[in-house]
Amino acid sequence: MYSTSAPSGGIRIKGALLTQRSSSLFASLGGWRTVAEMFVSRVLFLISYLLTRDVLVSALVAVGGVIVFAVFRIWADRKYWQATAGLIMVGISAALAGATGEGVNFYLQDIVRNVGAAAVLLVSMLVSWPVIGLLIGFARGEGVSWRHDQDKRRRYQLCTAVFMAKFVVAPLVMLPFYLAGDVVALGIVATLMGTPAIAICVYCCWRILRTPAPDADPAPKPA
């Protein structure tokens, strides 16, 4: 009589490992604090603009909020580069809006960044080097060994496709409001297509990576 517990245990272990990799993916993207910084900066700018209708003041308020996040991050976990990266990105947005006096330019970087990211992810998929696989592999110190595993490579391609879809849809939705000069509508859409959309992508990738792979060699059933 044969036991079927080993294969199912192997599937569970593999699913657990892939779930850990999905966590590594999110950590490699900066984690919740980086996502929160971008979300808060967009919300602060929008609220300040609604209250004051002053682009420069709104930009300074947004930068001030991110500075608070950056100082806390450096004090709490000494992650200087992540704190600095978030501050630089918001600083660029604030500089564009303040220099031009156009509130929509605070969100111009979001449009450009999404277009660029979509292009990079598409190319990585076409050459079978999905960006998500690279991020997770290097975050976990595994390099590119996953490329020898067909199942992992397929999953990473799917995860990359999920993020690429987000990066394609976001500018398509934001661009009309940018061209129309509608700061409020653009701010709302940019905020929703930021943190909430990223959270959805991360959840989808988590589901993709945790789903057990089909057992290629099932154990014989007992007679």
pTM for the whole structure: 0.76
Q: 218: alpha, beta or left, given left = phi > 0 and alpha = psi -120 to 50?
A: beta
* Residue 48 pLDDT: 94
* Residue 33 pLDDT: 65
Query: How many angstroms separate the CA atoms of 190 and 108, rounded?
Result: 10
Task: Note down pLDDT in tens along the chain; length 223 residues.
Answer: 444 444 445 444 444 444 455 455 555 555 566 667 778 888 999 999 999 999 999 999 999 988 888 787 777 776 666 667 778 888 999 999 999 999 999 999 999 999 999 999 999 999 999 999 998 888 777 788 888 889 999 999 999 999 999 999 999 999 999 999 999 999 999 999 988 998 899 899 999 988 766 554 445 555 4
Query: How many angstroms separate the CA atoms of 80 and 71, rounded?
Result: 9
Q: Are 135 and 25 in contact (CB under 8 A)?
A: yes
| Residue with token string 């879809």 | 165
User: Smallest Cα–Cα separation from 164: which of 190, 192, 126, 138?
Assistant: 126
* Residue 174 pLDDT: 97
User: Smallest Cα–Cα separation from 42: which of 102, 101, 109?
Assistant: 109
Reading the block at residue 123, the tokens are 């190319």
* Residue 3 pLDDT: 45
Question: Considering just the CA atoms, what is the radius of gyration of the chain in Å?
Answer: 21
Q: Are 14 and 212 in contact (CB under 8 A)?
A: yes
Q: Which of the 8 DSSP states describes residue 216? A: S
Q: Are 135 and 29 in contact (CB under 8 A)?
A: yes
